[in-house]
Every structure is written in C-alpha cells, then in structure tokens.
Chain A
Amino acid sequence: DIVMTQTPSSQAVSAGEKVTMSCKSSQSLLYSENKKNYLAWYQQKPGQSPKLLISWASTRESGVPDRFIGSGSGTDFTLTISSVQAEDLAVYYCEQYYDTPDTFGAGTKLELK
C-alpha cells in the first residue's frame, strides 16, 4: 500500500496567517500517460464529515475559497492557506487515489494560537 505522511500533525495559527502543510507519498502519484497527480485534499471540521477541497493535487472544487492552494508533484505535495480564517480550523487530510487501496494521511490539525 502507498503510505501517506503528513506533517506537521498539528499547527497553532492566528487569523490572517499564511499556513502550509505537507503530504508525502511513498511512491510517485504522477501518472505518466495524462501527466496528472492522483492526490486529493479534504477538510474535516469537528463533528462533521470530510469535505473535498482539492483534487488532482491543485484543482480547487467549486465553492472552495481561493485562499486554499494545492501544489506539488510526484511524491511531495503542499496545501497552503494564504490567510487563515477562523472557519478554517479543522483537520486536513491528503489522499492518494493512484493505486488501490486508496490511502489517507494521518491529518494535520489546525488550532488557534
């Protein structure tokens, strides 16, 4: 199985800060035939189900604010929140769907400083 490693496990932030979190995969998620990275990001707020933010490593879902930016390729990926808002406090998970079983990282929890 492809192992997904997310760092940090938690991060204390203040509103307005720029935040970056990392997701690394144990093998490349870049499919050579279509040049796409099979990597998604989800946001899970307390007591809620996960919400898809980004697919294909960098494609924002409809309605997701443009302060959420996905980047990276191959085995190294980053989710950046350009200016954190209070409603962004949540756990963020990356997921690879390059191979079966699809696997998730352990998550990065954003907390208030």
Chain B
Amino acid sequence: EVQLVESGGGLVQPGRSLKLSCAASGFTFSNYGMAWVCQAPTKGLEWVASISTGGGNTYYRDSVKGRFTISRDNAKNTLYLQMDSLRSEDTATYYCARHWAGYWYFDFWGPGTMVTVSS
C-alpha cells in the first residue's frame, strides 16, 4: 500500500526556517517524481515545487523561488522541503504528493503537515 507521511510542520516566526520531510513506503520511491502542494486555511490547492526521480531537476512556483528548496534521498525514501525566509502568506497545510509516470498530476497524497508563520 502506498503511504506518504509528512512531518516537520509547526509554528515559526516570520523570517525563520523550517524543514519538512515526507516518508514514502509501499512503492519504489526512486521511480517517481515527487511534489509539495499547499493549501492555505479554507483555501484551494496550490502547487509549490516538484523534483525529478533522481533529484537532478527541480521546479518551483515563482513565489517560493530562492526561498524554498526541494530535495530527496532515494536511499531513505524521503522527500524534503527546506523553507527559508518564511512569510505569513506561507501559512498552509503542506502535502507531499506523487507524480504519476512523469506527468504532473498527483496520484497519491499524504495527510499533510500544517505550517503556521506568525510572530
């Protein structure tokens, strides 16, 4: 059974950093592109970043470029999101999601981890 479990969320002050992790199991992690998708409270879904199977290619939405870094450790079956220079507008639930077969829709999602940026 495919499982994605996020961790690392919490309350952080503006300008500080946070690192999210996503532990994957039930499938060959290294064969799939992965992504982070966020959802602000009571709002819709917004793609944040994606990474290719080997980690060599990364993609970001404009609002997080230069502040967030997506990475993966295929030996540990784990996806990461390093979030620096956090802003109040980054407050959201962050979902780890699997890309299907190189296409950019998401066939499995984790339960999410909440990030709150506030002083």
Total contacting residues, chain A, CB less than 8 A: 21
Instruction: With CB as the reference atom, state the residue of chain A lying closest to B61.
Output: A101
Could you count the A-B residue pairs with CB atoms below 8 Å apart for me: how many are there? 52
Q: Is the CB of B105 within 8 A of A102?
A: yes
Query: Interface size bucket, B side?
Result: 10 to 19
Interface of A: prevailing SS: loop
In the complex, A100→B103 CA distance in Å?
Answer: 11
Q: Which residues of B contact A51 (CB under 8 A)?
A: 109
Q: Is the CB of B44 within 8 A of A107?
A: yes
In the complex, A61→B109 CA distance in Å?
Answer: 14
Interface 0/1 of A46-57, CB less than 8 Å to B? 001111100100
Q: Is the CB of B44 within 8 A of A104?
A: yes
B1 CB to closest chain A CB (Å) equals 12
In the complex, A57→B59 CA distance in Å?
Answer: 24
Instruction: With CB as the reference atom, state the residue of chain A lying closest to B49.
Output: A101
Instruction: With CB as the reference atom, state the residue of chain A lying closest to B96.
Output: A49
